[in-house]
Amino acid sequence: MPRVVLTAREGLRLLNHGPVVLVTSSSGRRDDVITLAWSMPASASPPMVAIAVAPKRYSHGLIRRSREFVVNVPDSRLLPAVWLCGSVSGRDADKFAAAGLTRAVAATVHAPLIAECFGHLECRVARAFTAGDHTVFVGKVVHASVDPRAFDGTLRLRDGSQTLHHLGGPHFVTSGGRRLSAERGTA
């Protein structure tokens, strides 16, 4: 079968189906939430994760100054909040209030947790480097927590909840294969 040729930028969407996360950061009295599809484990020993954030994003400056962040893992029921947090700048709005999210105190970092998310990885920046038009922040996981109904050594979501995976634009798919559109609710 002949292959369809993509631009290199379009080709990145072939990898965009890892779980969407909500990354929180704080510096001084300001905090923010950014939606990211570009995150991944980076090391098992020590446990580290990598996130890619464009320098023009408000959260970028907060992470750069504070040297910490929290990776919050939402389930598919949070799609409206996920979409809002990726569509509005923290310079202009309190995304927690706008998205109806609850701040929770983290165990080891100043950045807040998102109470509605089922999993949290509290991270301290170990390294940051420029990769084209993004900065990759590599964070050492200093504390991890999860809703016990969602994890027994491996991820197991209950009650119909699923992780969200970004397909580009307003298009998402759940870990169960259901296509969703942030603009219409469902596809």
Strand ranges, E, within the chain: 21-27, 30-36, 39-44, 47-53, 68-73, 103-104, 113-114, 119-131, 134-146, 164-168, 171-174, 179-181
Q: CA–CA separation, 46 vs 64, rounded Å?
A: 21
Assigned CATH topology for domain 8-147+160-181: Pnp Oxidase; Chain A (2.30.110)
Query: What sign has the CA pseudo-torsion 78, 84, 86, 91?
Result: negative
Query: What are phi and psi for residue 150, nearest 5 degrees?
Result: -105, 0
What was the pLDDT predicted at 187? Answer: 42
Q: Helix, strand or coil for residue 171? A: strand
Residue from 99, 100, 146, 98 nearest 122 by CA: 146
Tokens (6 digits) for 75? 């389930």
Q: CA–CA separation, 180 vs 75, rounded Å?
A: 13
pTM equals: 0.91
Structure confidence by residue, pLDDT tens digits, 127-145: 999 999 999 999 999 999 9
Q: What is the mean pLDDT of residues 111-121?
A: 95
Neighbouring-strand partners of residue 128: 137
What was the pLDDT predicted at 149? Answer: 81
Residue 70 above 60 pLDDT?
A: yes
Structure confidence by residue, pLDDT tens digits, 35-47: 999 999 999 999 9
Q: With bands split at pLDDT 50, 70 and 90, how would you rate the model's confidence at 153? A: confident
Residue 100 falls in which region: left (phi positive, over 0), alpha (psi -120 to 50) or beta: left
Query: What are phi and psi for residue 85, nearest 5 degrees?
Result: -65, -20
Q: CA–CA separation, 22 vs 25, rounded Å?
A: 10
